[in-house]
Structure 1
């Protein structure tokens, strides 16, 4: 469980996006466009450029993509950008704007961004091949014609950035999945490729559970792509079809940035208009009743299993078991003020600072104490899937009857089930529904809010 799955090249896409946006803005000052407000014009183009990029998945270019994939991306991007560009004339009533100037501007932007796009694509490939950067460690389970072709691609196409570690022969008498799992953990393997035709359903289920619980990416090598659900994502490494198992909406750039923007706006609103005046009142009440800090800090596991400090208003007497045992009904550690703020969920409000600083989200799977996370990771199947997204102050499991103390295995299994459903079916509308229901439950009171 010490493995932290790398978020490869997390700065590359924002960097490439910044370069392109700079070209879009800077080019507006190169031509006599005769617009009434050049800064409004530049701002208008910038906003729509970003929107088109997200909708067009302009920066979602996989490492195994071909140069022929870049050309359609550029054409679509510039086609919609051209529409937005000339729409400015009517929207802002600019009859005197130079059409020739707009054409020159559009042509310049197209050429510059095309050069940058293709150059960075080739440069990144060169970087992987020569300097061995941006590498993913991979293994293959199964030996047949398809797997041999795939391994050849891994070894020869160094520009793809895959480091082939080992192939496991399923047909050998000493083959067992446990040895694969040990090797994967010991060698920090990032991606697992396996031949569907060579494993039994039971073995496939074991492999899926292992990948889910250990944050590894699992990819299928099919024997016949027609037998699989169309919901599975198909990718091609040269001519070898690869299937990805789980689709997570929040791994898409647009969804990720929409959720982050919502988190920043919502948490800022709560901090400015609620915590600014509520915190002094709660602090005085806590201090009057018991000695100790106003805020309680506890390490919890978040996105990619990385630990972070989660903040709450202190609701218990200072005790050495705070990081080991959950609050139970009639818990003697809970103060009188603590009972009230726990019942109304006020004790959770400082976590909006966690949201603002990026370690949490307003809505997501609730984070557990580290000691409990380590226990559930071993005990509960697919528990680790919860760490594919940021933890939340509230979540679908919490509004569905699975908040508070975990009394039985049924509680944590139900929580995991709802959390995985949320991860695979996220939408902003679902977040808003969960927030509304959380507020409603806090007002009405909940049985397990103790």
Structure 2
């Protein structure tokens, strides 16, 4: 469910998509004409491309719409345009359309298509898409003040938020959005007199369609504000930030008897998302366990025989999803019976045997954890699992620490690829890691997992300073 402001901003997306469609069609027509003018040619100039080459245009238009639906949904298209990121959008569209065309041509190897036409089309796509967006944005800037009906907005906020509010609305005029007035007040001046007099006078003066309330409120005050607004035909939207604080994305869900405002997202509650993540885990861990791990076991076993005889694997209890304990598998990198397993490893640690440090630097000691992934105790990507005693210490340092246990721990994670790994020396370090872990838990996506996996390969060979 969207408010009127979102409807007005996001409602322009189909018009920009229509402009993109016209731009793609124009690029194809120009490429077709140029391909006939560049030798070798038949001197038989036509304006209508044959059906067999027109399929390129059809595929491009379908790919354009698909790209908009998948990557630029939920208003992201308009917000990126308004923030001056039209070039980024064009680059993403061009890459997606080129990939779509090349996949099609690769599947149909016998399909005859003009290489000149294809090259000209790809060369003109980017400039045409960018030009179309810029021209339409300029047209909106010229015509924006004349768009009727206009969405007139009155904002009530404290003095500290006035400048930011005016700045946000500064480039929305071209969308038919008019900021009537900003009523700025001191934080302790939000009393009944203000509600009954200044607010009502401002509504009568500006006749807004929408009142945005950006001050702390409660149920009784909100009801009173709503009555004042609705008595003048004005809709009310309440900013939850002054009420709930900076909690990230707030989700509003309506049921038959409830209206829930959720302060946290948890994508992996969805059975479909959990199945997709498990599918990725198995597809990666199974080949590693079958084809890679046996050779690593042989190599590490040989290093053990040379430098530190003892068991091949190191097993330890770690906390997993929902704080359930499990046995984690690692290649042993320390001498046997050193008697201090709960102490975190540090650079030049005397417990680590010769060549054990290299195994840790390259994260080879972590490879047996793919057995845990295959068994279902861990995932390829997720927060790193800690020992129970460390959980107790870190919980005291960060009140949100337990939120990282809402998903399975991972072999790698968002915190690790950001360099937040190794021993914890300061309380701020664990807070940064927990922030990254919670960010991952609440913003999980299949693409994010793939991105973290790719970044892990680069990070492993960077020999991070805190890896030990």
Instruction: Give the TM-score taking structure 1 as reference length.
Output: 0.48
Greater length-normalized contact order (CA 8 Å, ≥ 6 residues apart): 1
Give the TM-score taking structure 2 as reference length.
0.47
